[in-house]
Amino acid sequence: MKEILDKIKTILSTNTEDFSEPFVEDEMVEAYDEFEMEELYTDIYVLVRNIDEFYGENASQKAALLLESFLLESMVLLKKDPENIVVESGEFYVKATSFTPDGEVVLSVFEDVVLINSMIEYYNDALANNEFPQMEIGIGFATFVKEDMFEEDDECDSDDESCCCH
């Protein structure tokens, strides 16, 4: 977490004109390897609910950079976890899916949620101390069975154009 605190200090202490490009690390390039779907999976979904407060005419560039840094660091944390098989991100969210064959693995994935929650506190403290709006973050954590999401339609007739497989 010291690295996170150092990044927050860097953003707050740097002149906003010095930020020409966002912080991008080589680790952020997403790669999808072949993987076999098995029984249980767990999703972690991190969503910024008040994204509009960080962009627009009255928004501070430093506040936006802190928000972007939080999303980036959340994604890096999730990508480093070997249990995560897919990590996705967008303008206001980060999502990871893990293969979790047993409760022990689910608990190890839950540790990512705890770390992200700690990061939220650090970033929100920095935002509040500089009179910026605080991030309103929702974290979803759900374990589901393969059939819920990955099951194919067994009743699919190859001649039926209304079939979902076409």
Higher pLDDT, 28 or 142: 142
- pLDDT at site 114: 96
Rounded to whole angstroms, the Cα distance separating 31 from 73 reads 17
Q: What is the pLDDT of residues 96-144, one digit of tens each?
A: 999 988 888 888 899 999 999 999 999 999 999 999 999 999 999 998 8
Burial zone of 21 (CB within 10 Å; 0-12 exposed, 13-18 middle, 19+ buried)? exposed
Region class of 152: left (phi > 0), else alpha (psi between -120 and 50), else beta? beta
Q: What is the pLDDT of residues 40-91, one digit of tens each?
A: 899 999 999 999 999 988 899 999 999 999 999 999 999 999 999 999 999 9
Structure-token pair, residue 118: 């700690």
What is the pTM assigned to this prediction? 0.70
- pLDDT at site 76: 95
Phi and psi at 12, nearest 5°, equal -70, -30
